[in-house]
Amino acid sequence: MSSATAGWLQVGLLVVALAACYVPLGNYLARIFTTEKHWKVERSVFKLIGVDPTADQKWSAYVRSMLAFSFVSVLFLYGLMRLQHYLLDWVGPHMANVQPDLAWNTAASFVTNSNWQNYAGENTMTYLVQMGGLAVQNFLSAAVGIVIAFAMIRGFTRSRTDKLGNFWVDMVHCVFRLLIPLSIVGGLILAAGGAVDNFVTYHTITTLSGAHQTVVGGPFASQEVIKDMGNNGGGPFNTNSAHPYENPNSFTNWFEIFLLLLIPFATPRAFGRMVKDNRQGYALVAVMATIWAAAVAGISFFESHPMLGGVANRIQHGAMEGVEVRFGTAGCSLFAASTTVTSTGAVDCFHDSLTPFGGGIALFDIALGEIAPGGVGAGMYGILVLAIVTVFVAGLMVGRTPEYIGKKIRPAEMKYAALYFLTLPVIILTAAGLSIGTKTGQSAIYNPGPHGLTEVVYAFASMANNNGSAFGGLGTAATWYQVSGGIVMLLGRYAPEIFALGLAGSLARQQPVPASAGTLDTRTPLFVGMLIAVILVLVGLTYFPALALGPFAEGLH
């Protein structure tokens, strides 16, 4: 089978599988976040943490709960890494305590769902940290994103109230009813596909050529599934999903891509169901699918035609530098596009080695923010904010106060929406500008010229958008990048979430207006096209200077 055929086949199967899951998973998600009933295990958790499951929270209380929870998570994870040498170190290989700057960066990174990794997991983190710290955060940070998306949806479904639901109840429901059951199924499928899952320590083996090699065991399949499904991206190995223990063959590779896209693509259905108009969900998923398809097509095209731009090695099967040969450029491109649009950051080939334009598309995907389809939950509130901006821009053309799903878009809503889309460019451009403009920042750039510039911009875009993938040719273990990276990740995660919840609170207070002849129909292809245009223009113009000096300059040179 040629590389291109394999690529088409994988994409086709992926579309079929995701389409098959869209309705059932979406409906299930909607049920999780609308049910009033609690399982026995959930009730016992509520009792343990002292939460009244019937008490709804205002948006500000919801924000406080979310921030407090995340703050404690950062502290806990930081402490765990700093003390790992003394804790449970009889299981698996022994490791030294993690350095403070790395522990700070990693704690911020895993709590914010970025999973930016400035370390090699197999020789830095003990199994306790991997399983009890990092993997736990993979669940919890994903759940935080999802519950905020549903709190935002409640802003549309509720009226004349200032309550958006209860953060703790939503978290518990999300973890027990969604993430754990799906992870068990997914983990078993991955293990059956050949991914490793055990507690053994290092083995030293003698290879056929007589050399000695250290082989690592560990709980990989169980961490792998939530790493992908929660759009986290932080795997146990430095080489991430390119490592055969995490991702042994083409099937697991395809399955991991499926996991990346599963929840983000099903959330619009839950949205449509909750606002009682499934076509609203179809419109949003159409936007997401279009951008994802364009990203896949773009990266695949440039990776299989390396002659177009750049000096990557021009061999028969496309740009093979940095590509895992088991998957080829087709599997690599599909994975790269899916991981960047979903803000996952897991990789099965090295983005630094993508062709200039292919890497440029990956950077553009990340710069889109979390919208198409975005990280779990984050993509949903991201696209809702942009849908509001689009409705507003369109409303100006007909001279009416615009409305979306029966809620008017007034100055208060616009204020939150503007703050939302203002945050990420400000963070990314400031941090990247500071890094490129200073000696400290420049000294970590291993590849001079436009590629080095792309590396820096990519690094901060990835951290601020909580993606976590990286262009490897940047020495991000330097203190400047460790510290600033942690700040960027926290700001990039929580500032937009606060604004999204504020927007939801403002929407929930309104009473719905009935649709009339002057209401823009947000279920039509016209709206889908407009939303895509707003997304592309906004991002395109914001990052055009950086893209021009980075990928374009490199590719056209």
Partner 1 sequence: MSVTTAPDAPASPGPKPADTQPHRVGGGLLEPRTLLKATPDAFRKLDPRVQLKNPVMFVVEVGAALSTGSAIVKPSIFNWTIVVWLWLTVVFANLAEAVAEGRGKAQAETLRRTKRETVARRLVAWRPGQRPEERREEPVPGTQLTLGDHVIVEAGEIIPGDGDVVEGVASVDESAITGESAPVIRESGGDRSAVTGGTRVLSDQIVVQITSKPGETFIDRMIALVEGAKRQKTPNEIALNILLAALTVIFLLAVITLQPMAFYSKAPQSTVILVALLVALIPTTIGALLSAIGIAGMDRLVQRNVLAMSGRAVEAAGDVNTLLLDKTGTITIGNRQATDFLPVGGVSRPSSRMPPSSPAWPTTPPRAAPSWCSPGTPTACARALRMIRAATAATASRQGPRANCAAPSSSSSPRRPG
Q: Which amino acid is at 281?
A: G
Which residue from 43, 544, 556, 557 is in contact with partner 1, where contact means CB under 8 A? Answer: 544
Residue whose pair of structure tokens reads 């003390």 in the numeric block: 83
Q: Does 518 bind partner 1 (CB under 8 A)?
A: yes
Cβ at position 45, least distance to partner 1 in Å: 40
Q: Does 543 bind partner 1 (CB under 8 A)?
A: yes
Specify which residues 163 forms β-bridges with: 58
Rounded CA separation 149/504 (Å): 10
Q: Say if residue 373 is preceded by a cis peptide, omega within 30 of 0.
A: yes
Q: Which amino acid is at 219?
A: P
In sequence order, the 6+-apart residues with CB closer than 8 A to the CB of 341 are: 291, 292, 295, 365, 368, 372, 373, 374
Q: Does 477 bind partner 1 (CB under 8 A)?
A: no
In the 8-state DSSP scheme, what is residue 518?
Answer: T
Q: Does 419 bind partner 1 (CB under 8 A)?
A: yes
Helix H, strand E, coil C: the string for 386-441 is HHHHHHHHHHHHHCCCCEECCEECCHHHHHHHHHHHHHHHHHHHHHHHHHHHCHHH
Which residue from 422, 526, 533, 556 is in contact with partner 1, where contact means CB under 8 A? Answer: 422
| Span of 3-11, 167-175, 325-333, 419-427 interacting with partner 1 by CB under 8 A | 419-427
Rounded CA separation 341/533 (Å): 17
Q: Does 71 bind partner 1 (CB under 8 A)?
A: no
Cβ at position 452, least distance to partner 1 in Å: 8
Rounded CA separation 312/423 (Å): 35
Question: Which of 208/517 has CB closer to partner 1?
Answer: 517
Question: Which of 210/514 has CB closer to partner 1?
Answer: 514
Q: Which amino acid is at 532?
A: I
Q: Does 317 bind partner 1 (CB under 8 A)?
A: no
Question: Which of 5/442 has CB closer to partner 1?
Answer: 442
Rounded CA separation 508/156 (Å): 6
Question: Which of 210/399 has CB closer to partner 1?
Answer: 399
Residues 448-467 that bind partner 1 (CB under 8 A): 449-450, 452-453
| Span of 114-122, 176-184, 301-309, 436-444 interacting with partner 1 by CB under 8 A | 436-444
Residues 371-390 that bind partner 1 (CB under 8 A): 389
Question: Which of 411/525 has CB closer to partner 1?
Answer: 411
How many angstroms separate the Cα of 369 from the Cα of each of 37, 160, 414? Answer: 35, 31, 18
> 10 Å Cβ neighbour count for 135?
24
Q: Does 283 bind partner 1 (CB under 8 A)?
A: no
Contact 435, 481 (CB under 8 A): yes
Question: Which of 241/506 has CB closer to partner 1?
Answer: 506
Q: Does 414 bind partner 1 (CB under 8 A)?
A: yes
Question: Which of 1/517 has CB closer to partner 1?
Answer: 517
Q: Does 546 bind partner 1 (CB under 8 A)?
A: yes
User: How many distinct helices (H) and strands (E) make up the chain?
Assistant: 20, 6
| Span of 136-144, 188-196, 249-257, 391-399 interacting with partner 1 by CB under 8 A | 391-399
Rounded CA separation 85/65 (Å): 32
Which residue from 265, 421, 471, 499 is in contact with partner 1, where contact means CB under 8 A? Answer: 421
Q: Does 23 bind partner 1 (CB under 8 A)?
A: no
3-state secondary structure of 165: strand
Which residue from 12, 181, 437, 529 is in contact with partner 1, where contact means CB under 8 A? Answer: 437
Q: Does 536 bind partner 1 (CB under 8 A)?
A: no
Which residue from 433, 472, 475, 512 is in contact with partner 1, where contact means CB under 8 A? Answer: 433
**Any idea what the Cα angle at residue 515 is, between residues 409 and 378, rounded to 5°?**
45
Rounded CA separation 294/187 (Å): 30
Q: Does 511 bind partner 1 (CB under 8 A)?
A: no
Which residue from 189, 293, 426, 477 is in contact with partner 1, where contact means CB under 8 A? Answer: 426
In the 8-state DSSP scheme, what is residue 213?
Answer: E
Cβ at position 311, least distance to partner 1 in Å: 18
Q: Does 415 bind partner 1 (CB under 8 A)?
A: yes
The enclosing H or E element of 504 equals helix 479-509
The enclosing H or E element of 464 equals helix 450-464
Q: Which residues bind partner 1 (CB under 8 A)?
A: 389, 392-393, 395-396, 398-401, 409-411, 413-415, 417-419, 421-422, 425-426, 429-430, 432-434, 436-437, 442, 449-450, 452-453, 516-518, 541-546, 549, 553
